[in-house]
Amino acid sequence: MAISSYARWMLAQEARSLLTRLRRVRPFVLIEPMVPAAALLPSAQTAIEAHLAQGRRGLHGMVMAFLAWLHGPAARRATAAEAQRRFTFLRLQFNAALTQFDLFNDVITQRSEHKNGPWLSGLDVASADALALPGSYYRAPPVICYLDRGPGAAIRRARTRLPGGGDNPVAIVRVPRERMVGSSIASSLFHEVGHQGAALLDLVNSLRPVLQSMQRGGASQGVPAHVWRLWERWISEVVADLWSLARLGITATMGLIGVVSLPRVFVFRVNPDDPHPAPWIRVKLSCALGEQLFPHPQWRRVAALWESFYPLTGLPPGQRRLLLQLEDSLPALAALLVRHRPALLRGRTLPQVMAVRARQPRRLACLFRQWSAAPQQMYDAAPSLVFAVLGQARAGGSLSPEHESVLLGRLLTHWALRSTLDLNALCGDAAQYRRLEYGSTIL
């Protein structure tokens, strides 16, 4: 049956109602109150606003196209059911657009919280530092952080598909609220940044063929094929752990222990369908990688401490045998990872481009002593190096948890303030240049 005039009128009213609600979706810079130091970095703010504005324009065009169809000759030949199907699809698109707005709104709203706002901005600065690689290997996307429940962090990587369509313009890292504020927060944060960095360098896809060749080689280096198969399954999380470790040293391992210290049944569970290694072997791998990157007796002490927390005694024989096989594979796997030369690094290894030699434990301890005598040097240093130094001092007993928390709160605020003032100075210099260039004031 052809669509009635009443049905056409009702659907037109509903479509116009969508337009009314769409006009109420305002840019975040007009609706979110926050101190300047808590604001997103301009690259992130611009990317988010541009993405949402493009979505609003597209949705507005779809609504107008539907109204034009509804009042045109084609609709008069259509049935009410067909018109309703078209409108239902349009409303689903509208809801998807609002879902994206809410996703970013949840992230940005926390910037108005007292203390947490500037601290999150400081974590943005630290994340950018952790992701940056000298050598123009990739163009790093903006990273923004927000707080949420739970012991672990998570990332929605930049350039991945958002609900409702379109690519995410920024990397969004969910930070565990319970880790604010201590050096262990960097372990979770830099692990998630490592997922973004690994995607930009295509590390996982470059490592999988290597691990598959180890499986085909049978008991390659004394490691059974099924063990290499498990490492291939877990390689995404392993690479992210490597990134965090290369940036932070022992800070990454101690932070990891804080996350995966769970009841025994979960610590020893080996699940081939889970992209995360079993917590017990994951910590042991972190120690093995640490020994490769930063040779020092501390790694054996931490590994022994972890074993004392979770001894293998009492496990079923098959589970214990598999964990021991995984443990036996750690030297070969760690050597493979630190010597891997992905194509996008142009013949270099990840430890080389991340300059791990500059973050050896003895140097970090020396820097902590220097900074204790001259604190301004710490405030001038790169955030990732600061986290590594403070985590090393904490692990070595030179820094108490109470002092660490106070110090990091000040540092996060300082990084947020410094980035804001540097940006304002840069904008001021640019405006001054334009006044000199054109002889007029920029309004």
- 219: pLDDT strictly greater than 70: no
What is the model's pLDDT at position 433? 35
Plot region of 218 (φ>0 → left; ψ -120 to 50 → alpha; else → beta): left
Length of the chain: 443
Angle of CA points 157, 257, 388, to nearest 5°: 70
Separation of alpha carbons 349 and 86, rounded Å: 53
The amino acid occupying position 106 is D
pLDDT band at 424 (very low <50, low <70, confident <90, very high): low
The token pair at 25 is 């979706």
pLDDT band at 434 (very low <50, low <70, confident <90, very high): very low
Range 236-262 average pLDDT: 96
pLDDT band at 442 (very low <50, low <70, confident <90, very high): very low
What is the model's pLDDT at position 176? 84
The token pair at 84 is 């309703």
Task: Note the helical H segments in 132-224.
Answer: 184-201, 203-216
Plot region of 105 (φ>0 → left; ψ -120 to 50 → alpha; else → beta): alpha
Task: Label residues 5-41 b or e (16+ Cβ within 10 Å = b).
Answer: eebbeebbeebeebeeebeebeebeeebebeebbbbb
Domain boundaries of the chain, sorted by first residue: 5-111, 202-358
Range 324-342 average pLDDT: 96
The predicted-structure confidence for 376-415, as pLDDT tens digits, reads as follows 999 999 999 999 999 999 999 999 999 999 999 999 999 9
* Sequence-distant (≥ 6) Cβ neighbours of residue 229 within 8 angstroms: 215, 272
What share of the chain in percent tops pLDDT 90?
Answer: 60
Separation of alpha carbons 10 and 200, rounded Å: 49
What is the model's pLDDT at position 383? 96
pTM: 0.84
- 197: pLDDT strictly greater than 70: yes
Backbone angles phi, psi at 174, to 5 degrees: -85, 120
The predicted-structure confidence for 16-75, as pLDDT tens digits, reads as follows 888 888 887 777 766 667 777 888 878 888 888 888 888 888 888 989 999 999 989 888
Separation of alpha carbons 79 and 76, rounded Å: 8
